[in-house]
Amino acid sequence: MDTASYHRAMWYHKKHFNVWAREELQPLVDELVEAARTAPQYDGRFLYELEYYKLRCMRAYFSHSLIADGN
């Protein structure tokens, strides 16, 4: 019975995570892509801005993944 509840919990997590990723994470990724496409690549601030966008995406992902908690 423990195995069935584990797999059920994993299925629900994956289901809810996919919805969250589509609604919450994808706009952050789109913002990162747009910044990478349009910002001047010769400017040093551009690199810091890209790193900032990547860190925002990583923080959002790891706050909802199973391998890390919100902290």
What percent of the chain is modeled with pLDDT above 70? 93
Give pLDDT tens digits for 10-42.
888 888 888 888 888 899 899 888 888 887 777
Q: What is the pLDDT of residue 49?
A: 86
| Structural tokens at position 25 | 């994470």
Say which DSSP state 70 is in. Answer: -
Q: What is the pLDDT of residue 71?
A: 59
Following DSSP, what letter does each residue of 2-69 receive, concatenated? HHHHHHHHHHHHHHHHHHHIIIIIHHHHHHHHHHHHHS-TT-HHHHHHHHHHHHHHHHHHHHHSSSS-
Domain boundaries, the chain: 2-64
pTM of the model: 0.68
Tell me the pLDDT of the chain averaged across its residues. 84
